[in-house]
Amino acid sequence: MAGRFYITTAIDYVNATPHIGHAYEKVLADVLARYHRLAGEAVFFLTGTDEHGQNIANAAAQAGEDVQAFVDRNAAAFQQLCRDLNLSHDDFIRTTDRRRHWPAVQEIWRRVAAAGDLYRKHYRALYCVQCEAFVTLSELVDGRCPRHLTEPQVVEEENYFFRLSRYRERLRRLLEERPDFVVPESRWAEMLQLVDSLEDVSVSRPVEKLAWGIPVPDDPGHVVYVWFDALTNYVSAIGFGRDEERFRAWWPAHHLIGKDINRFHSLLWPAMLFSAGLEPPRQVLVHGFLTLEGQKISKTLGNVVDPMAVARELAQRSAAEVDVCVDAVRYFLLREVPFGQDGDFSRAQLVARFNADLANDYGNLLNRTLPLVERYFEGRLPEPGPEEGGDRELREQAVGTVDAVWECVQRCDFQRALLSIWQLLGAANRYLDREAPWNLHRAGRRDRAGTVLTNTLEALRVATVLLEPVLPTATLKVWSQLGYPEFEERARELRARGEPYRGTGLGLDDARRWRWLRPGTRVRPGPPIFPRVEEERPLQVQEAVADEALSLEEFRRLDLRVGRVVEARRIPNTDKLIEVRVDLGREVRTIVTGLVPHYQPDDLVGKTIVVVANLQPRKVRGVESRGMLLAAEWDGQLALVTLDRELPPGARVS
């Protein structure tokens, strides 16, 4: 149905407690849900827990607990994670929900059986308990499951099988006719390659082997196998089998999942739906995995990260509120990890993003502007005058940013969406420096100074509307300082009642409206929302001695990368320093460089340069610099090292 957006996460397996990987998927889904609400769409956002299967029964037995008590306790931990991350989900489904989920699973089963797609078969096969899936010899690596590195069990039993092979051709047509059915394209291509080799799959287990599950209709000797059970949550939560009108209103869904379960969602699940006479999902969005400081996240390695522990640690180091630091974790995950690719979670990189992006660029723009309104206009937003100078350029960039961000979000390109917002913030900072309202006020041009301050705050307001899905708590604090505390008060009331906060109610159309702020509104400057994290150790930079020969191995330690300058601004109260933002392909770095008077900030934007990317970070005039631009100097002249042909940002220089 037009104007509706149904987004789901994979339901989390409750054999252990949640970690940063679970948080990543939930934040992605939440940000999508919030952006679609900004676009004026009706949204339903579902998450939940998968609570049946052999793994669960084994884990409960090892813990010495009743299985239901075990899943209740662990499901509560995932529900708490949703609250901690300030998710805006509309429902949390549990597969042990006998009122909502069980009837839907049994109805799907009956429909698939009626279509002639279920049959019983006695067989002997290899079964990976951790995957809750049967595996073939060709899938094993050195006799082990490639994902869990465990030897599969040999299982011999009689189960029900689903005729997945019957749907090969229909699934192929689905993939070929809808190239956006699986995103990104690489994951779509994987499914297209798999589809012709699909075999029938087991969809039940005998009760004597596994009693913890949903009974098969009309056969109490079997329970429904976990994937046939788990996948059905996407329709059970919206009323399938109970409220057909509600189900039809929301289905089909956009599924957000990890790459390891792509084949279940992109092949098995659509085939089940075809068999049951239902539409396939609208889209399967496949994200990559997180590593931690370059290592796989694993309970065995003991490096499972609690996202709330990270947020509390950041709060302690920065003196920011914990919820603001939760927002910083959300921001980091979207800004650092390209959608569909694997990414690394690093505490050092989190601090760098917090300082450079949130404290310096976003927070500092607010902290620079509001005190001027307080000083020159008795703390009330001034009435803006006619456009002149750089006013029109800033307005056009702000309005254009709204469409650029929305276009990126629809492609799940969150990095580019955020980069567009930060380009607007950079433009607003440069506009404020260039127009210099303090000089205008000193020269008696009070009205013009007020226009400049209002325009700067308008650009910041547009950025704040666009950042609400990513920073749902911090943006409320920005609104309060801008003179609109009612948004934060309403959110506080909702959370006190245990209800999720889903947004201010403002939308993309509000963001496009220039001069939305009401003149005369009392601003409320306050302490920095993102107080900088001060480094705990001094910078250690080793400089090469000119006459000292380097070995080839020493030279190879340098990580030289192609970079493209996307923003540049003078650092106030310095003679030579420029803060540049350099796109290195997978990230945008802040680098401080002393190029004045050879270059001015506007000379640098758009240049393709060479960057030393693996220098230790250093603080220069309160700005964290992460890298060095290469330049040549001769006889008082200085020139940046550039390329004689275009290469993409991030390309290695050797």
Express each pLDDT in 117-139 by its tens digit: 999 998 877 877 666 666 766 67
Nearest to 152 by CA among 162, 142, 144, 160: 144
Interatomic CA distance for residues 255 and 23, integer angstroms: 16
Strands (E) located in 531-576: 560-570
CA distance 453 to 324: 26
Q: Is 576 in the active site?
A: no
Residue 544 scores a pLDDT above 50:
no
Residues 445 and 378 in one domain: yes
* pLDDT at site 130: 67
477 is catalytic: no
Question: What are the tokens at 539?
Answer: 């910078």
pLDDT band (50, 70, 90) for residue 555: low
Same domain as 576, residue 475? no
In angstroms, what CA-CA distances link 652 with 149, 247, 561, 562, 585?
34, 51, 5, 6, 11
Radius of gyration of the chain (CA): 28
Q: Sorting pLDDT into bands at 50, 70 and 90, what band is 535?
A: low
- Least confident range from 222-226, 255-259, 270-274: namely 222-226
Please tell me which residue in 26, 36, 82, 145 is annotated as part of the active site. Answer: 145
Q: CA 26, CA 52: separation in Å to the nearest integer? A: 21
- The CATH code of the domain that includes 424 is 1.10.730.10
Cβ pair 303, 324 in contact under 8 A: no
Q: Write the DSSP string, 408-453.
A: HHHTT-HHHHHHHHHHHHHHHHHHHHHH-HHHHHHTT-HHHHHHHH
Tell me whether residue 22 is one of the annotated catalytic residues: yes
Query: How many C-alpha atoms does 82 have within 13 Å on its Cβ side?
Result: 27
356/488 same-domain check = yes
| Alpha-carbon distances of 193 from 135, 183, 187, rounded to whole Å | 18, 15, 10
The pLDDT, as a whole number, for residue 616 is 76
Length of the chain, in residues: 654
Mean pLDDT of the chain: 90
The answer as to whether 188 is a domain residue is: no
- 475 and 327 in a single domain? The answer is yes
The predicted-structure confidence for 399-421, as pLDDT tens digits, reads as follows 999 999 999 999 999 999 999 99
Residue finishing a domain among 452, 483, 512: 512
Q: What does the block give as tokens for 554?
A: 């020493």
Work out whether the CA dihedral 351, 357, 361, 362 comes out positive or negative.
negative
Domain termination residue (choose one: 487, 512, 537): 512
Question: What is the percent of the chain where pLDDT is above 70?
Answer: 92
Whether residue 344 sits in one domain with residue 444: yes
- pLDDT at residue 550, as a whole number: 56
For 592, the domain range is 552-653
Return the residue matching tokens 């094993």.
Answer: 140
CB contact set of 386 (below 8 Å; sequence gap of 6+):
451
Judged against a pLDDT cut of 80, whether residue 10 lies above it is answered with yes
Instruction: Give the full edge-to-edge strand order of the sheet including 153-162.
Output: 133-135, 118-128, 153-162, 201-202
Q: What is the DSSP letter of 383?
A: P
Q: What is the CATH number of the domain that holds 613?
A: 2.40.50.140
The pLDDT of 472-483, averaged and rounded, is 98
Half-sphere exposure of residue 584: CA atoms within 13 angstroms, side-chain side: 23
- Do residue 507 and residue 596 come from a single domain? no
DSSP 144: B
Task: Count Cβ neighbours within 10 Å for each residue of 32-60 and write b for 16 or more, e otherwise.
Answer: bbbbbbbbeeebbbbbbbbbbbbbbbebb
In a domain, 160, yes or no: no
Neighbours of 142 (CB within 10 A): 7
Distance of CA 199 to the CA centre of its chain: 35
- Half-sphere exposure of residue 381: CA atoms within 13 angstroms, side-chain side: 21
Q: What pLDDT is attached to residue 547?
A: 40
| Residue 479 sits in the same domain as residue 341 | yes
Cis amide bond preceding 597, omega within 30: yes
What span, in angstroms and rounded, lies between the C-alpha atoms of 432 and 455?
9
Residues 6 or more apart from 636 whose CB is under 8 A from it?
none
The CA-CA-CA angle for residues 528, 534, 559, to 5°, reads: 120
95 part of a folded domain: no
* DSSP output for 332-369: HHHHHS-TTS-EEE-HHHHHHHIIIIIIIIIIHHHHHH
CB 258, CB 286: distance < 8 Å: yes
Examine residue 497 and state whether it is found in any structural domain, yes or no: yes
Q: Mean pLDDT, to the nearest integer, of 62-84?
A: 95
CA–CA dist 244, 591 (Å, integer): 57
How many domains is the chain partitioned into structurally? 2
556 and 498 in a single domain? The answer is no
557-605 residue pLDDT tens: 678 888 888 888 888 767 688 888 887 866 778 998 888 778 888 788 8
Options 121, 148, 209, 576, the catalytic residue: 148
For the purposes of burial, counting CB atoms within 10 Å of the CB of 432, is it exposed (0-12), middle (13-18) or buried (19 or more)?
A: buried
Catalytic, 299? Answer yes
Residue 530 maps to a domain? no
Q: Given a cut of 60, is residue 283 above it in pLDDT? A: yes
Quick check: 549 pLDDT over 70? Answer: no
The dihedral region occupied by 254, where left means phi > 0, alpha psi between -120 and 50, and beta the remainder, is: beta
Please indicate, yes or no, if residue 475 is contained in any of the structural domains. yes
Q: Which residues contact 550 (CB under 8 A, 6 or more apart)?
A: 544
Report pTM.
0.80
- Name the active-site residue from 36, 89, 101, 131: 131
Burial class of residue 601 in the structure, from the number of CB atoms within 10 Å of its CB (0-12 exposed, 13-18 middle, 19+ buried): buried
SS3 254: strand
Same domain, 361 and 501: yes
| 259 a catalytic residue | no
Both 476 and 337 in one domain: the answer is yes
User: Quick one: which H or E segment has residue 492?
Assistant: helix 486-496
- Whether 608 is covered by a domain: the verdict is yes
CB 595 within 8 A of CB 620: no
Indicate the pLDDT class of residue 300, thresholds 50, 70 and 90.
low
Mean pLDDT of 488-507: 93
- Under the banding of pLDDT at 50, 70 and 90, the label for residue 147 is low
The mean pLDDT value for 88-116 works out to 97
Name the one residue in this structure whose structure tokens are 């049994």.
Answer: 106
Is residue 131 annotated as part of the catalytic site, yes or no?
yes
Q: For residue 231, is it within any domain?
A: no
Considering 121, 209, 296, 576, which one is annotated as catalytic? 296
pLDDT at 419: 97
* pLDDT (0 to 100) of residue 637: 67
Closest CA relative to residue 421, chosen from 334, 338, 483, 343 = 334
Is 122 annotated in the active site?
no
* Mean pLDDT confidence for 33-43: 97
Give the model confidence (pLDDT) of 356-410 as tens digits.
Answer: 999 999 999 999 999 999 999 999 999 999 999 999 999 999 999 999 999 999 9
Point out the catalytic residue in the list 121, 209, 299, 576. Answer: 299
Residues 462 and 374 both lie in one domain = yes
Two structure tokens written together for 238:
């919206």
Name the catalytic one among 26, 36, 128, 222.
Answer: 128
Which of these is catalytic: 22, 52, 89, 222?
A: 22
- Note whether 443 and 339 are same-domain residues: yes
Cβ atoms within 10 Å, residue 193:
10
Smallest CA-to-CA distance from 260 within 285, 289, 231 is with 289
Q: How far apart are the first and last CA of the chain?
A: 53
Give the H or E element holding residue 23: helix 20-38
Any catalytic annotation for residue 26? no
Asked if residues 124 and 159 have their Cβ atoms less than 8 Å apart, the reply is: no
**Residue 270 · residue 162 · CB < 8 Å:** no
Domain boundary among 456, 489, 512: 512
